[in-house]
Structure 1
Amino acid sequence: MKPQFERRLAILRNNMLDAGQDALLIFSLDNLRYLINYSGEAAYGIVTQCGAYLITDYRFLEQAQQECVNGKIDCQIICRDRDRQTLGAVINGVLKRAQAHRIVFEHEYISVSMWQAICIDNPGLVFTPAQAMLDSQRKIKDEWEIAQIRQAAAISDSALAILLPQLKLGVSEREMALELDYQMQRLGSEGISFTTILGFGERSALPHCIPSARRLQEGDLIVIDFGAVINGYRSDMTRSFVAGEADARQQAMFDTVYAAQSAALASLHAGLAAHDADAAANAILKASEFAAYAGLGLGHGLGIKLHEQPFMGPHCQDILQTNYVVTIEPGIYIPGYGGIRLEDDVQITPDGYIALSHAPKQFEVAI
């Protein structure tokens, strides 16, 4: 069994034991990837103190066997006949064999109608919402996880370096986004971490700008937010540029965001409250001439999901711990004019942080 999955299941079972829980029903595909290495669709998991089970159907049976057994994971694959077996009946059979009575389930990842059908097949059993127990466990990354994020970030760095010489007058946002997506996958990414955000000129003020046919003009601000994926783990980086020479206002915007990010990064270390890191960046932004246009929140956790705990804003009480991986991404967004954001992925350490993304923060690009 791969040691990282063995450790994760052991931690989960210890947490379940402490909470007096016999079984956990898993409906999140991200959590199935985290616990038992399954990367497909149409699957559900059950973890007890004595076993791990993956319920799927014939479409994903071979994939599940390749990913979750064969000496990799101590997991039993159950192939459900969807025409003859309800999901609830299969769950009932596993829970009865495990003699599970105190059962928790991931209520955030299942529809009301599906849950009602499961309950009909499990009369007499008491199910309790799991309260995001795996979301909390996933905050601290193991060495293997960090290595995947580091590799994804390195692909993003390289893809951006290839893209920058192609930022010429007349190219469209959509063309550049497609090129960036292609380069990441050519370099080994499994796909894209999320729909690439890329905006020129006034559209760069849209924090989540969907690439359009808008073409690059001299003097445009440019925001590019993108990421790669390795073994299900994601990177997330933003760089901002100006097409040609920056004017005084543009340079002041960039310098302010750069200073805010630098202040937040300098504050990081295990034991720091997440809201204090946000405050370090916010102090720079609020003291600037762009205070009214500062983005809210500093960043978020990163891993199998793009946005994981902790969500680093002014009200986040989470205390950063060693091997959290988070983004640091302050920004300024002026409607009708443009925006600037700088974002990096970092690993929290006892004394500071380790940068996982390394693309240069140049501002002016030759056009």
Structure 2
Amino acid sequence: MDSIYASRQNSLRALSLSKGIDNLILFGVENIRYLTGFSGNAAYLIVTSRQTYLITDYRYYERARAESHHCEVVCRDRDSQSLGRCFAQFLIAGTTGFESAFVTVSMWKDIADALGHLCLCPTQGLVESLRMVKDEWEIKSIKKAAALADTALAEVLKHVRSGVTEKELATELDYKMQTIGSDGVSFDTILLFGARSALPHGKPGETKLTHQDLILIDFGAVVNGYRSDMTRTYVFGEPTKKQQHMFDTVLAAQHAALSICKAGVSCQTLNLASEQVLCSHGYQHYAGKGLGHGLGLALHEFPFVNNRNEYVLHSGNVITIEPGVYLPNLGGVRIEDDILITEQGYECLTHAPKSFVLT
């Protein structure tokens, strides 16, 4: 594993130098984990032209030493040394970039004062651009997370019955994922019944399941920090004509996008293929904005699949394809899968059946 992290750090150095940046200060939790393997959330990373320093404190020091690769782990005494003064020990000269998206104004004031001898410049998306294309180990982790989610869902569907609440079923799903091997949950599980399924990111509550309710389940598992993200929509009992039409349309929209997924196709093109199906069936005012997103250490990461992103897909990108329609006071339908882009097409990583009717 040490060689993997060394390669990632060297790729970042080369990218930074191409932009005139000699040193980088990193604050993003996922970015630090990607570059070192450290899974804690109280650390900072300095990448110079020759060395990498992971700075943490006594709470995480031993853990950082055990988990981290190809870096020097530094334990800062927070009571006696400011963050800025700590950084200044390792940053002597050169143009120094910092991740502006992850640092607060108050935190940066102390750092900037201590690094007044350097040329400081904000950066955005450097590590994220490297994270877009997954390596073999990353893909293996996402595949395992997706498989755990598939298994957990199959077990939890056995508990679907009249009168069960959203919260009860969501709790059972979270518990099942973790008992079979997930490191946690990829995000707060979305599990909604009836008209509440029209809330794209609603929170499970005390609503009880009744006949002909739509059931929307959006959830994921985690392995080695890598996440899966899957949505399935069901109806409890015989569907109405409207419910069936919604489901069939969303499924067709997903198929339209999947049919053209491969390296060399733009995110815009994928989004348009799905959007055209939804619009042709009258759902243009009820469709979710955007078709999907990149997936990895973060739930939502580059590339984003929408009508604004011209990014051309590469082999090794892992993205979601998740069209949806949401009708107020009636309900919503979303179908989401995780896919790995290949040169010839794609590999679907989530395999739960897309059957609609539950009885």
Q: Aligning the two structures, in what range does the TM-score lie when normalised by the shorter sequence?
A: over 0.9
Structure 1, 3-12 or 32-41: larger mean CA deviation: 3-12
C-alpha contact 1:192 1:228 (8 A) present in aligned 2: yes
**Residue aligning to 1:136:** 129
Distance 2:336 2:131 in 1: 21
Q: Structure 1 vs Structure 2: percent identity of aligned residues? A: 49
Displacement of 1:132 after TM fit?
A: 1.5
Q: How many positions carry a matched residue from both structures? A: 359
Is there any run of 5+ residues in structure 1 with no aligned partner, and where?
Answer: none
Is residue 2:83 matched to residue 1:90?
Answer: no
Is residue 2:169 matched to residue 1:184?
Answer: no
DSSP-derived class of the 1:257 partner = helix
**Residue aligning to 1:238:** 231
**Residue aligning to 2:76:** 80
The one-letter code matched in structure 2 to 1:350 is: E
Distance 1:291 1:121 in 2: 53
Distance 1:268 1:257 in 2: 17
Q: Which residue of 296, 308, 311 maps to 1:303?
A: 296
* CA deviation map 1:287-317 (0-9, x unaligned): 0033321211100000000000111111111
Distance 2:224 2:344 in 1: 29
What RMSD over aligned residues (CA atoms) do the two structures have, in Å?
0.9
Distance 1:289 1:52 in 2: 54
Q: Which residue of 339, 346, 351 maps to 2:344?
A: 351
Displacement of 1:226 after TM fit?
A: 0.1
Distance 1:232 1:4 in 2: 16
Is residue 2:107 matched to residue 1:149?
Answer: no
Displacement of 1:85 after TM fit?
A: 0.6
C-alpha contact 1:4 1:144 (8 A) present in aligned 2: no
Distance 1:6 1:363 in 2: 47
Structure 1 runs of 4+ aligned residues shifted over 3 Å read none
- Could you state the TM-score of these two structures normalised by the residue count of structure 1? 0.96
**Residue aligning to 1:32:** 32
* CA deviation map 1:79-126 (0-9, x unaligned): 001111111011000112xxx311101010000000001111122211
- Could you state the TM-score of these two structures normalised by the residue count of structure 2? 0.98
Q: Which residue of 333, 342, 354 maps to 1:340?
A: 333
The one-letter code matched in structure 2 to 1:15 is: L
Is residue 2:207 matched to residue 1:214?
Answer: yes
Distance 1:223 1:18 in 2: 46
**Residue aligning to 2:310:** 317
Q: Which residue of 258, 266, 286 maps to 2:259?
A: 266
Within-5 A mapping of 1:272-287: 272-287=265-280
Displacement of 1:267 after TM fit?
A: 1.1
* CA deviation map 1:1-50 (0-9, x unaligned): 53321221121111122223211100111111100001112210001121
Is there any run of 5+ residues in structure 2 with no aligned partner, and where?
Answer: none
**Residue aligning to 2:191:** 198
* CA deviation map 1:144-195 (0-9, x unaligned): 1111100000000000000111110000000000000000001111100000
C-alpha contact 2:231 2:337 (8 A) present in aligned 1: yes
C-alpha contact 2:5 2:70 (8 A) present in aligned 1: no
DSSP-derived class of the 1:345 partner = strand
DSSP-derived class of the 2:30 partner = helix
DSSP-derived class of the 1:209 partner = coil
The one-letter code matched in structure 2 to 1:164 is: L
DSSP-derived class of the 2:133 partner = coil
